Each structure stands twice: as structure tokens, then as C-alpha cells.
Amino acid sequence: MPHNVLMPALSPTMTEGKLTKWLKKEGDKVKAGQVLAEIETDKATMEVEAVDEGTLGKIYVPAGTDGVKVNTLIAVLLEDGESAADIKAGAAPTAAPVKTVTPANAPAAAPQKTVALVPQKDSGRIFVSPLARRLAKEKGIDLSRVQGSGPHGRIVKSDLEKQSTVIPAQAGIQPPKAASSIDAKALADAYQIPYKLIPNSGVRKVIARRLLESKQTVPHFYLSLDCELDALMKIRKELNDGATDFKLSVNDFVIKATAAALVKFPAANVSWTDDAILQYERADISVAVATPNGLITPIIKDAANKSLKEISNEMKSLAAKAKEGKLKPQEFQGGTISVSNLGMFGIREFAAIINPPQGSILAIGAGEQRPVIKDGQVKAATVMTVTMSLDHRAIDGAVGAEFLQVFKKLIEAPMSLIL
């Protein structure tokens, strides 16, 4: 019987996505494991494959359609001997409709069963998607020298686009569509201000929606304190001067101190749910990284039990993958607390927005020379302001204050982070 192909949920937070491209057209034969489409999720663009074989009988959602809800009918696969006449009218599952989906126009026929697209799985000695294999052949790229960023290390199209031998204009990459008329355009026109429209990517839309929901539904409150960094800066310099395979940043110490403080004071390592407060037994630190598509937070898992060297090298690798759009879902989904550091831009202090379901986020300012009082005398010290945004449903003010005191002691006595 015909198989309904549904919009897949490629991450726990995905509710909708953009169907950017079909790799098969109506009438094409499809084998299980072949890539059917490219879908832009809330964090990245992923290739997805079919779980059944057959013929692509009808495409309901055209390429380029944005805002396609998870579980929406996007296509129908036909088994051997079936034709378009076997597609049942109105067979779409109960999911939010998409304007471009028109299943009611399909002719009535036999019952259908529903299947979903799934992320690719490994196959063969070199794990590569069919699309990437074809592009590699066209461009003469040696796949054995390409590092895959897809599920289980599979090589996907985006990996080939990073190769110096591939010219983007020749690699099948389509330029972004022109922006449609929106309220911003009318506003700019009304005030006669020169402007250009920059279409919002799917990632940017998801970021906007989640931040808005966070500020509207999470009762934020904020705590700030100053940490002196002179001892940390001294030890950091000594370690870096003697190192050959790593270079520590202040943020590496911040990540380690955050994790160690959560282990010492687990009452702050929590998330709110309506039924219960989740208190985590491990400190996984989400670290904000700016990318061309917006902010993403790769995770240093179990950071309290990793050395500063391990944290530093892992963070550099994750940040590079984030900026190239190569993070795997397990590398950015989860985390028990976030760290956002704008100190490198000279920002003295700021308050960050909580990333639900996490219960808090640390906003790290710049370390700068400030006057401090020591033994009744004014002296200069390198001081960093830390502001913690907390979900007041899960963390009381006293709990947040005690956590910050533990964090401050660790940052100001950094030998405890090394031993």
C-alpha cells in the first residue's frame, strides 16, 4: 500500500523546519537508505533518507517551503505495481497544515500506511550520502580525505562544499530567494530610509521564538558579583608558556569553575518542570558561540571531571564545527547551564537570557583593571563581573547567591581547578 512520508523531527526541540530541496522527483525509484530531501532544522541543515523503497508517487510540499510542521505529510511513496491512482485523498495525518500542501487534490484509492524520514545511518567503508558521493565524483574529490559531519560521521554535501576544489556556484548551491514583502519593508518605505532586506533563516527564526518564549514564560532574576583574576591570569600564563599542544583561555577556566561549582553546590544544577524540579548529577556546560546563522551552544559534557587542557581543546573543536554548521545534534542538545562570554569584546557586564529548559545562565564580562580596597588601601586588580540569570521557579535567590560564592572562590583560587 502507499506510504505517507512525514516531516521528520530531527531534534527534540524541532517543531517545524524548512524543506530546502528534494533530491528525488515524482516518478523516481527510491531505495531504502537513499536521500530524499534536505531539511533545515532549528540548528542545521541535514540530509534525510527513506526507510522504505518504492516510487515517489507525489510530492505535497515543494522545495523551498518554510514553516513545515513536524509530522506534516510531505510526500507519498508507492510500492511496486501501484500508481498515482492508488493514492487516497485526504490521507494526510492530523498535523498542522502547510499552505503549500494540497493532499485533497489527490484521487481516492486504497488505504495507506504512514512512515517517516529518518536521519542517515552508516553504510559501506566510507560513510557518504548518495548526493555527496555524486558531487565528489563530479568534482574529483577524494572522499577518503574528507571528514564527515553527518550522523555517525557520514559525509554529506556541506562537507564537500568546504573543500577547496569545490566552487560553490558549480556545486548546486542555490542563492537565497529574494525577500518577500514584510512589515519591515513597509515601515522603512514609510520613513524613506535606505535599507536592504536580509531574509531570516530557519535557525534565526527558531532562536527568536525560543528567546521570546523564555522572556515571556520564565521569571528571570539576576545576581552579579565581581571576581578578581590576577591569580588566574598568572597561572594561565605559566601553563601556556610551558605548553605545546594547548593554549588556555580565561573562558576555559570559567567553564571548569562553573562545572566544579555545580558539583559542589548541586542545588543550582536544576531545571523546572510543572511536576518536579530536575536536579542533575552531572555538570554539562553549554557555551554560547556566535555563528553566521545565529547563536548556538555546543556542550562540554561532564566538564567538572575534565582537565583544563581537555576543556580547551574540546571547546576549540566544537566552536570551529559550530561556525561551519557541522555540529551533530548530541553536541548541542542538552546542557545543564549555559555560559555566555562577551569579555573579548570589552563588555563590562550584561544580563543574558536563559535557554530553557536550563535553569540559569552566566554572563561573563571583560577582565579589566579596577581599583579595589585591600587592607584599607586602594590597589589595582584585574576584575571580572559575572551576572547570573536564574529561573526563580527552580532557584531561589539565596541558592543563586551561594552558588556564585562557590564560583568566585574557585575562580580566585585557580589552583583548585588544576589539581
Q: What is the pLDDT of residues 205-241, one digit of tens each?
A: 888 888 999 999 999 999 999 999 999 999 999 999 9
pLDDT at 285 over 70: yes
Assigned CATH for 121-188: 4.10.320.10
**384 C-beta neighbours (distance < 10 Å), count:** 24
**pLDDT for res 326:** 85
Whole-structure pTM value? 0.63
| Alpha carbons 50 and 323: distance in angstroms, whole number | 29
Whether pLDDT at 332 is above 50: yes
Q: Can you tell me the mean pLDDT for 342-359?
A: 96
pLDDT at 105 > cutoff 80: no
Amino acid at 312: S
Confidence of residue 264 (pLDDT cuts 50, 70, 90): very high
Per-residue pLDDT of 14-38, as tens digits, reads 788 889 899 999 989 988 778 888 8
Q: Report residue 175's pLDDT band, with 50, 70 and 90 as the boundaries.
A: very low
For residue 42, the model assigns a pLDDT of 65
Mean pLDDT, to the nearest integer, of 129-142? 75
pLDDT-derived band of residue 297, with 50, 70 and 90 as boundaries?
A: very high
Q: Quick check: helix, strand or coil at residue 278?
A: strand
Which pLDDT belongs to residue 92? 45
**Percentage of residues in the chain having pLDDT higher than 70:** 82
Return the pLDDT at 151: 62
pLDDT exceeds 80 at position 301 = yes
Q: How confident is the model at residue 106 (pLDDT cuts 50, 70, 90)?
A: very low
Active site residue 392: yes
pLDDT grade for 121, boundaries at 50, 70 and 90: very low
- Looking at residue 223, its pLDDT comes to 98
Domain locations in the chain as residue ranges: 1-119, 121-188, 218-418
pLDDT band for position 396 (cuts 50, 70, 90)? very high
One-letter amino acid of 180: S
pLDDT for position 43: 65
Which pLDDT tens digit goes with each residue over 372-394? 999 999 999 999 999 999 999 99
Kindly tell me if the per-residue pLDDT of 152 is higher than 80. no
pLDDT at 247: 95
* Cβ–Cβ under 8 Å, residues 326 and 296: no
CATH architecture for residues 1-119? Beta Barrel (2.40)
Q: Given a cut of 90, is residue 77 above it in pLDDT?
A: no
Q: Output the average pLDDT for the chain.
A: 82
Residue in 3, 152, 220, 392 annotated catalytic:
392
pLDDT at 12: 67
Distance between CA atoms of 243 and 216, rounded to whole angstroms?
46
Cα(107)–Cα(2) distance, integer angstroms? 13
Sequence-ordered list of residues with C-beta below 8 angstroms from that of 7, at least 6 positions apart, any chain: 16, 17, 19, 39, 61, 68, 69, 70, 71, 72, 74, 95, 117
Q: pLDDT band for 94, please (50, 70, 90 cuts).
A: very low
d(CA 116, CA 8): 6
* Distance in angstroms (rounded) separating the CA atoms of residues 300 and 314: 7
The arithmetic mean of pLDDT across residues 105-120, rounded, is 42
pLDDT at 287: 97
- Please choose, from the candidates 220, 219, 260, the residue with its C-alpha nearest in 3D space to the C-alpha of residue 388: 220
- Candidate from 77-86, 340-349, 374-383 with smallest mean pLDDT: 77-86
Residue 144 has pLDDT above 90, yes or no: no
User: Would you state the cell numbers that stand for residue 46, as one nine-digit string?
Assistant: 541535514
Q: Are 372 and 228 in contact (CB under 8 A)?
A: yes
pLDDT value at 109 more than 50: no
**CATH C-level class of 218-418:** alpha beta
**147 CB-side CA count, 13 A:** 5
